[in-house]
Structure 1
Amino acid sequence: MWDLNSVVLYFYLGMGLLALWGVSQAWLSQSRTETIHPFKAFVHLLAFYLSYLLIPLFFFSMYAGWSGYYSLHEAAFVFLVSGVFCYARFIEPHLVHVKTTRYQLHADKRLLKPVKIALVADLHIGLFSGHERQLKQIVSKLNQAQPDLVVVAGDWTYEPENTLAQELAVLKEIHAPVYSVNGNHDEQYPGPPIQALLRNALALNNVMDIEGQVVEFNEFRLIGIGDLWAGKADMRFMPELPQDKPWVILSHNPDTVDMVPALPSRPLMLSGHTHGGQVELPWLTDYVMKKVSILGHKKGLYRHEHADVFVSVGTGMVGVPLRFRVPPTIDMIELI
C-alpha cells in the first residue's frame, strides 16, 4: 500500500483536493470582499489559498529524494525553494516584533517625563493579513509594552470583508488610547470606496481618527495629517498654530515630510507605507522601493530639512502574501 507508486498517487490526489479547496475558499472569500475588481481580488485570494500546496510539497521533496523519485539535486532544489516560500508565507508574517527607538524631541533639553508611543502601521486587514490571530497577537504585545498612547499610521485595509467592524473588535482590549489617520489603501488609492465602512468600524472600536485634528499632551502636541496620494497632506497652516510645544506628526506616507514647513522646533513625523520592502531581496527590493518612496524612505529614522521622519515596516502585506527578512513590527518610539 505504501510503495513508491502509491505514495506518489496519494500525493498528487491530495494536491488536487487541496487545490480544489483553495479555489472554493478564494471564491467564497471574494464574494464577501469590498472590491472594485472582483476578478483581481479572486486572483490574489487564489494565490493566498493555493500557497497551502507548498506544505505537502516541502515534505514530499524529502521523501522523493530519499526514495529516488527525484534526483538529489531536484529534491534539494524543491526542498529549498518550497521551504523558503513556506517560511515567508506561514511563519514570518506571524513573527510580530517589538522594536524600541529613543528620540529626543527637544534639541536642547529632555522631557520632564519620557513618553512611550506605540507606532503601528499598514495592518492591511483584508485579502492577506490582519485577521483574528495576528490582531490578537498585536494587541497582546501592545499591552505587554504598556505604551502611553498608540498611533496607527494608516493603511488599515486591503480590500477588506464587509465584517470589518467585527474583525476590529479586539482593538477594544488595548489599554491605551488609540489615534489614527488613513492611508492610501483606505482612501481608494488604490482600492474600493471603503471610507464609510472603515470610519464606522474605527468609531465602534474606540479608535480616534485625528486627521486634521490636534491632540494636546503635557510636553508636545500630536497632529494627524491626511494621505499624500489622496491629496490630503496640506501642512501650510501649521505655522499659524501654537508653537509653545514641539509637534509629533502622524501621517501615512513618509514622503509627506517634504511638505512640513519651517517651525520653531523640529517636528517628528511617524509614518508607514513602505513595509520596509516586505520581501527583502538583493537589488530587486531597492529597485521596487524607488517607486514606493520618491525620497528614498524604507525603514527607520531619516533627517530632512524641516523635520525628522520615522518609518515603520508595519505588520501587514499587499501584492503578495509574503514577508521575507522584514518581519511585522510594532515600533515603540520613546520620546525623551
Structure 2
Amino acid sequence: MWDTDSVAVYFYIIFFMLGCWGMVQAWLSQTRTETIHPFKAFVHLLAFYLSYLLVPLFFFSLYAGWSGYYSIHQAVFIFLLSGILIYARFIEPHHVSVKTLQYQLNPEQKMQRPVKLVLIADLHIGLFSGHERQLKIIVEKINQQNPDLVLVAGDWTYEPENTLADELAILKQINAPVYSVNGNHDEQYPGPPIQNLLQHALKVNNVIDIEGKIVEFDEFRLLGVGDLWAGKTDMRYMPDLPQDKSWVILSHNPDTVDMVPQLPKRPLMLSGHTHGGQVELPWLTNYIMEKVSILGHKKGLYRHEHADVFVTVGTGMVGVPFRFRVPPTIDVIELI
C-alpha cells in the first residue's frame, strides 16, 4: 500500500484536488473583485491560490529523492526551488520589519521637539496582500513605535473586493492621526469604479485624504500631492506659499521629486511605489526597476536638486504574490 508508486499516485491525486480547489477559489474571488479586467484578475488569483501546490511538492521532493523516484539532482532542484517559493509566498510577506531614520529637516536649526513620523505605502489591499493577518501586524507595529503621525504614500488597493471599508476597519486602532494620498493603482488602474469605494473606505476609517491640501504643524507643513502617472503633481504654486516653515511632501511616486520647485528651505518628500523591487534577484530586479522609476529610485534616501526623497519599500505585492529579500517594511522617520 505504501510502496513508492502508491505514494506517487496519492501525491498526484492530492496535487490535482488542490489544483481544482485553487481554480474554484480564484474564480469565486474574481467575481467579488472590483475590476475592469476580470480575466487578468482571475489569472493573478490563480497564481495566488495555486501556490499552495508548492507545499505538497516540497515534501514529496524529499520522499522522491530518498526513495529514488526522482534522481538526486531532480529532488534537490525541486526541493530548493519549492522551498524558496514557499518562503517568498507564505513567510516573507508576513515578516513586517521596522526601520528607523533620523532626518534634520532644517539643516540650519534643529527642531525644538523631534517629531516621529511613520511611513507606509503600497498596502495593495486586494488580490495578493493587505488582508486581515497582515493589516493586524502592521497596526500593532505602528502603535509600538508611538508615532506623532502616520503617513500613507498611496497604492492602497490592487483590485480589491467590495468589502474594502470592512477590511480597513482595523486602521481605527492606530493611536495617531493617519494622512494619505492616492497612488497610481488607486487612480488609473483598475479604473474609476475603485475611487468612490476607496474614498468611502478611508473616510469611515478615520484616514485623512490630504491630496492637494496643506496640514500645519508647529515647525513644518505637510503637503499632499496627487499621483504622477495620473497627472496630478503640479507644484508650481509652492514658491507663492508661506516659507517660514520647512516642507514635508507626501507623494506616491518618488519621481515626483523632479517637479519640486526651488524653495528657501529644502523639502523632504516621502514616497513608495517601487516596492524596493519586491523580488530581489541579481541583474533582473535592477533592469525592471529602470522601468518603474525613470530617476533610478529603489529604496532609501536620495538627494536631488531641489529636494530629498525617501522611498519606502511598502508592505504589499503586485504582479506576483511573492516578496523575496525585500520584506514588507514600516519606516519610522524622526524629524530632528
**Normalising TM by the smaller chain, what interval?**
over 0.9
Aligned to 2:225: 225
3-state SS of paired residue (2:208)? strand
Give ranges in structure 1 of 5+ residues lacking alignment.
Answer: none
Alpha-carbon deviations, 1:15-68, whole Å to 9, x = none? 011001000000000000000010010000000000000011001100110111
* In the alignment, structure 1 residue 92 sits paired with structure 2 residue 92: yes
Q: Name the CA distance, whole Å, in 2 between partners of 1:179 and 1:49.
A: 33
Q: Displacement, 1:287?
A: 0.5
Partner of 1:292: 292
Distance 1:205 1:6 in 2: 54
1:250 maps to 250
Partners in 2 of 1:6 and 1:29 — Cα distance? 34
Shift of 1:319: 0.4
Normalising by the residue count of structure 1, what TM-score does the alignment of the two structures yield?
Answer: 0.99
Q: Which residue of 2 is the match for residue 275 of structure 1?
A: 275
Number of aligned residues: 336
**Unaligned ranges ≥5, structure 2:** none
Q: Given the alignment of the two structures, is residue 205 of structure 1 paired with residue 205 of structure 2, yes or no? A: yes
Determine the C-alpha separation between the residues in 2 that align with 1:21 and 1:37. Answer: 22
Shift of 1:4: 1.2
1:189/1:230 contact within 8 Å kept: no
3-state SS of 2:39 partner: helix
Contact 1:181/1:226, CA 8 A, preserved across alignment:
yes
**In 1, Cα distance between equivalents of 2:333 and 2:191:** 30
Q: CA deviation at 1:193?
A: 3.0
Structure 2 contact 26–42 (Cα < 8 Å) conserved: yes
Instruction: Tell me, in whole angstroms, the C-alpha distance in 1 between the residues paired with 2:316 and 2:138.
Output: 11
Distance 1:330 1:119, change over 3 A: same
Amino acid in structure 1 at the alignment position of 2:251? S
Q: What's the offset of the Cα at 1:190?
A: 5.2
Deviation per residue, 1:192-233 (Å, 9 max, x gap):
631110000000000000001111111111010000000000
What is the distance in 2 between the residues matched to 1:122 and 1:96?
A: 13
Amino acid at match of 1:15: F
Cα distance in 2 between the residues matched to 1:70 and 1:243: 70
What TM-score does the superposition give when structure 2 sets the normalisation length? Answer: 0.99
CA contact (8 A) 1:101 1:333 kept: yes
Distance 1:60 1:176 in 2: 48
Q: CA deviation at 1:108?
A: 1.3
Whole-Å separation in 2 of the counterparts to 1:192 and 1:232: 15
1:181 paired to 2:181 = yes
- CA contact under 8 A between 1:159 and 1:192: conserved in structure 2? no
| Maintained 8 Å contact 1:221/1:248 | yes
Contact kept in structure 1, 2:103 and 2:334, CA below 8 Å: yes
Instruction: Please tell me the residue identity of whatever aligns with 2:201.
Output: A
Q: In the alignment, what sits opposite 2:28? A: 28
Distance 1:279 1:174 in 2: 29
Tell me the distance in 1 between the aligned counterparts of 2:82 and 2:8.
18
